[in-house]
A and B are shown apart, each in its own frame.
Chain A
């Protein structure tokens, strides 16, 4: 604005008067906030709510959170008026040193002279000492000379009983090479003897328990054995490790297979026990299944397999009727359980024909396929009777499908066993009795109907469609 006024050579109002105030504040001083008349907070309104409506300059509350507090601002250095405390390069002596050597370090001039603080870390292991006469009297050993023992004690002192380091620094030129265990054995022996002989408990290997001396006893033999084992563990070759790994993996596999088999057998048994109510054909099937449980396949040892095979044969001949241990189990309805129409009010009867959600996609498809084969409408008119029978039919179909699958897997097992048998006993063939062999497709259909009968939908026999 001022530029335009300049160009047009128009006198700027108020430009001439330059006061100290206008220089310092610029034109800021001219801006005056119109302070609205403060609105009083109505009775009962919370302070926070009121603050949202009316703040000081009547702006809307910001959409984004902003921080205006001092929290994130960098704090300025507070320069006090105190005097700085001087540091001086001062000499000091270290009481941990024996020679009173004087070194220099920085310290505050104001700090009073006190003992060198790091001297307190000067800790030493107490090592037993002995005089010559004591050595001759108590510590003589056939294996160790006194010079060697002295050397050991010296090294123990120097390396604070770090026996691995002591072993490393052992004077091999003067003395014969000794193992770490030898060194430890000798040292702890000396400790034990001296603690018995001497009265003052000097060593850390002696502890006083109830006024009684306890001496650390070092079991050198055990340690040697332990280390030998450790070495052997570390020195295994890659092949050995691989072999071990392989064997462990195999073991795991075998166990997994075993579990899988058991699970399958249980499933099958449950299924059959449901369907079973004393029919001969089903009996035969059950017997196969029972045998199957005892017959491991896969990689178990051949001996076990042969043994089981024998058992299998014996059972096949001797047991026409297998023990029905599963009979006691409540015969469970394995078809489809249609939920009872519940809830008040009106509902469509066709709702009753809806398959419950528990039935899987595959099963639904299979049932529909069967229905098509039987030339039955997939969605018949839902009269009372049709609903009932249609549901029963589908339930039976589901069961039939289950049994069919079970039969197929039994067949497969049987064939697999036969192949195994032939592989193990070349030249022989396993003749499977016709009664348990199910190769005829026609024969399959017929018992199916019977099974359905047997399982018996409660109203199948006495109700006509």
Chain B
């Protein structure tokens, strides 16, 4: 913390936790670490508690958060090991809506899971830092503070905009943050560690949209995507040959929401493996000259994907909804004095930003659109995990800085001032 020469360096760790709820997953872990402890899908399986697991399902009982006691009580299945098991009548629900926490009961279950299974430490020992979307409404923020202080007895709590944290993770306090997430893409100017809420621009093009595009693409190519859980075994076949597999005997009564969710994961995997963003606007000929990428579907069918994989991602760079346009819109909504600093620090983060070629394309498009008076610089951490977890990492950095420790809303302050002070303390 302090050196022999009286200089102060490093941070001060007070055992804080950082939560970064997103549409695709919730990241949770200790501040001062470089990656979150857990990256949990942001959906919860809700099924009847009476269900007795079949022999072939092999449910690890220890991981069940809510022990089933009564007949009419529901059981919640959280995290992939629990969630990805086919169970009759298990509905998949999400607690997120439009970048904010919407279903508080479900979210409580998630927090319970985090504290008991991930952190494995009582919540009253750890100050909690939450990230939030820039457009989070006041009731949602206050509700979260209330939940943390009253239910979880957190010693301290703080809320920061995820764009600010992403900028911090990139070592910047002034940046134009492009967050290409699952449900939406947004461009948010951050000045001196404050997000400019009125200048933020966003569009519903995100990873989910990409997955649905992939679904459309495969349907057009007459490729049937089978969910992984439905395959018992498969045979090795030649390329483009008809798949030969043995379907698995599934329990009756699988809900469509769960099936849809599992299929979506499959499409996401397809996108993750195959999709690439072309450097320039999609051109059939240049795309065809790039070697294809091989993909094997869960059923065993496999083939090379050539120009399709470039065509797939073109929707992300749509003229009026794509990231470049959002950046321009956000920058031009800012004060003229701030613009050159913002153009000089365009920071990309989010899961979609990990798509191959996405950064290069963004850089190219911005160079074409940005006013020539500015020096344009786009940056993103090279490691994919750092791009995906940028907001969490920023939170981890912030919560472990010594001079930040005065910013927390402590439980004493909450008891005295109530949740009304949240707007003042967490700008």
Name A residues whose Cβ lies closer than 8 Å to a Cβ of B.
Answer: 94, 96-97, 99-101, 103-107, 116-119, 121-122, 158-159, 162, 164-165, 167-169, 180, 227, 230-231, 233-236, 241
Q: Can you name 28 A-B pairs with beta carbons within 8 Å? A: A94-B406, A97-B406, A99-B412, A99-B416, A100-B412, A101-B411, A101-B412, A103-B14, A103-B155, A105-B14, A105-B15, A107-B1, A116-B402, A117-B1, A117-B8, A118-B12, A118-B403, A118-B405, A118-B406, A119-B406, A121-B403, A159-B427, A162-B194, A164-B338, A169-B197, A180-B335, A227-B336, A234-B336
Report the separation of the CA atoms of residues A119 and B410 in the bound assembly, to the nearest whole angstrom.
16
Chain A residues with Cβ below 8 Å from B2 are 117
Q: How far is the CA of A280 from the CA of B199 in the complex (A)?
A: 80
Report if A99-B413 is in contact (Cβ < 8 Å); known contacts: A117-B2, A162-B191, A165-B192.
yes
Tell me the B318-337 residues at the A interface (CB within 8 Å).
332, 334-337
A159: chain B residues within 8 A (beta carbon) = 194, 427
**Shortest Cβ distance from A225 into chain B, in angstroms?**
12
- Chain A residues contacting B196 (CB-CB under 8 Å) are 164-165, 168
The number of inter-chain residue pairs (CB within 8 angstroms) is: 97
B339 an interface residue at 8 Å Cβ cutoff? Answer: yes
A235 to B373, CA, bound (A): 10
Neighbouring A residues of B337 by C-beta, 8 Å = 164, 180, 227, 230
* B127 contacts A by Cβ under 8 Å: yes
Report Cα–Cα, A254/B191, bound state, in Å: 45
The count of chain B contact residues (Cβ–Cβ below 8 Å) is 41
Interface residues of B in 112-140 (CB under 8 A from A): 127
Picked from A96, A231, A233, the residue with its CB within 8 Å of the CB of B406 is: A96
Assess whether B405 is in contact with A234, with CB atoms less than 8 Å apart. no
Q: How far is the CB of B148 from chain A (nearest CB, A)?
A: 15
Asked whether, in the complex, the Cβ of A234 is within 8 Å of the Cβ of B197, the reply is no
The verdict on B108 contacting chain A, using a C-beta distance below 8 Å, is no
Q: Quick one: closest A residue to B411, CB to CB?
A: A101
Note all chain A residues with C-beta closer than 8 A to B374: 234
Taking a contact as CB atoms closer than 8 A, the residue among A122, A164, A235 that contacts B334 in the complex is: A164
- Bound together, the chains give a CA A180 to CA B196 distance in angstroms of 13
Pick from A99, A118, A165: contact of B410, CB under 8 Å: A99
* B interface secondary structure, majority: mixed
B residues at A contact (CB < 8 Å): 1-2, 8, 12-15, 127, 155-156, 191-192, 194, 196-199, 332, 334-339, 371-374, 401-403, 405-406, 408, 410-413, 416, 424, 427
In angstroms, Cα B12 to Cα A121, docked, is 14
In the bound complex, how far is the Cα of B404 from the Cα of A119, in angstroms?
A: 10
> Given A101-B412, A169-B197 in contact, is the A118-B155 Cβ separation under 8 Å?
no
Query: Which residue of the partner chain A has the closest CB to B198?
Result: A168
Q: Which A residue's beta carbon lies closest to that of B425?
A: A158
B335 touches A104 (CB 8 A): no
Residues of B within 8 A of A235 (CB): 332, 371
Report yes or no: A101 in contact with B413, Cβ–Cβ below 8 A: yes
What is the CB-to-nearest-CB distance from A244 to chain B, in angstroms, rounded to a whole number? 10
A241 CA to B336 CA, complexed, in Å: 18
Point out the residues of chain B lying under 8 angstroms from A121, CB to CB: 402-403
Cα distance A119–B334 when bound, in Å? 33
Complex CA–CA separation, A167 to B8 (angstroms): 34
Task: Provide the residues of chain B in CB contact with A236, threshold 8 Å.
Answer: 371
B156: A residues at CB distance < 8 A: 101, 103
Tell whether, in the assembled complex, residue B8 and residue A118 are in contact, meaning their CB atoms are under 8 Å apart. yes
In the bound assembly, the distance between CA atoms of A241 and B14 in angstroms comes to: 54
| Nearest CB in chain A to that of B16: its residue | A103
* B15, closest chain A residue (CB): A104
Contact indicator B406/A230 (Cβ below 8 Å): no
Question: Do residues B403 and A164 form an inter-chain contact, with CB atoms below 8 A?
Answer: no
| A118 with B402: CB separation less than 8 A | yes
A contact residues around B372 at 8 Å (CB): 241
